[in-house]
Amino acid sequence: MGVTKLRSPSPHAYLVPADASFRLKKAVSDPGKKAPDDEECERRLAACVAEIDKLQQVLYAHDRYALLLIFQAMDAAGKDGTIRAVLSGVNPAGCHVTSFKTPSAEELDHDFLWRTTRHLPERGRIGVFNRSYYEEVLVVRVHPEFLAAQRLPNGKNGKGIWEGRYESIREHEQHLARNGTVILKFFLNVSRDEQRKRFLSRLNDAEKHWKFSENDVAERAHWDKYQQAYEEALNETSRPWAPWYAIPADNKDYMRLNVAEIVRDTLKSLDLEYPRPDKADMARFDEMRALLEHDK
């Protein structure tokens, strides 16, 4: 089978298998009437966000794992809104969001993983990458002329460059996973027609003009190339230690609920717990308690 459906709690999200059989055309971008109504999605999302907040507190105290959430999508798929909705209730001290734009001159003087490595979350914290090193096998794949600015060694930008980058990404993510970073990667799967509607909404609403970029429309001409690049990247890099989830993105409320429930269930699966004091600690606590009780 080309696509593996999650049984629960997100029946329309797809866990991309590690056997290179994922086909983007078979992944749903709009669940239609099968999705809960907006009110139910919002109710369930609120409950889920509250659970994530509690789990993050234990994650912080447990101090053995970090959680890295990676979001990739076509423009207007809803990355910013999803990140905001899912993590709105999490203690800001335990969560950090990094948005990656066009690489700077300094970043171009390093390997393509360098700029994201500097922003990896510490143990006990949730890190979010709004775009990531995957841009190097997506937008750069669609626009190979961008490679010129990277000044790669002679012979390192030929046909094998993409396979080499996939290999580097797989090794990088496996290394992180071995050392306690739990990785979840979300591809927000918006349809071409829904993207068009959202661009028009930005143009027709003065308060959304700031979101609009002419380049977004220009990139629509490369839609098919992007779809091919996403399909290959997901197939090449979805692994048990760093899975990709293709999330239907035409329905924003349902998309956010899907992401939140996957994050919640992943945190639950870690069997997190608050540190337990040993006998020596308990004895010391008794001493401190006695001192405080008599300190008037």
pLDDT tens by residue, 15-65: 999 999 999 999 999 998 889 999 999 999 999 999 999 999 999 999 999
Classified as helix, coil or strand, 22 is coil
E strands within 47-108? 66-73, 95-99
Q: What is the pLDDT of residue 166?
A: 98
For the chain, list residues with pLDDT below 50: 1-2, 4-9
> CA dist 92 to 6, 61, 84, 145, Å?
30, 15, 12, 39
DSSP per residue over 217-230, as a string?
HHHGGGHHHHHHHH
233 burial level (CB within 10 Å; 0-12, 13-18, 19+)? buried
> CA dist 289 to 127, 223, 282, 284, Å?
37, 65, 10, 9
Q: Which two tokens stand for residue 170?
A: 């797989």
Q: What is the pLDDT of residue 196?
A: 96
Q: What is the pLDDT of residue 1?
A: 39
Q: What is the pLDDT of residue 13?
A: 79
Q: Which domain holds residue 70?
A: 4-293
Bridge pairing between strands 66-73 and 126-130: parallel
Question: Residues 13, 265: contact at Cβ < 8 Å?
Answer: no
Q: What is the pLDDT of residue 215?
A: 86
Q: What is the pLDDT of residue 6?
A: 45
> CA dist 293 to 10, 41, 287, Å?
51, 49, 10
If one counts the domains in the chain, the total is 1
C-alpha 254: how far from chain center = 16
Q: What is the pLDDT of residue 12?
A: 65
Q: Which two tokens stand for residue 23?
A: 């086909």
Q: What is the pLDDT of residue 144?
A: 94
Give the whole-angstrom CA distance, residue 164 versus residue 243.
19
- CATH assignment at residue 48: 3.40.50.300
Q: Which contiguous run of DSSP H or E holds residue 57?
A: helix 38-62
DSSP per residue over 151-217, as a string?
TPPTTSSSTTHHHHHHHHHHHHHHHHHHTTEEEEEEEEE--HHHHHHHHHHHHH-GGGGGG--HHHH
Give the whole-angstrom CA distance, residue 27 versus residue 283.
58
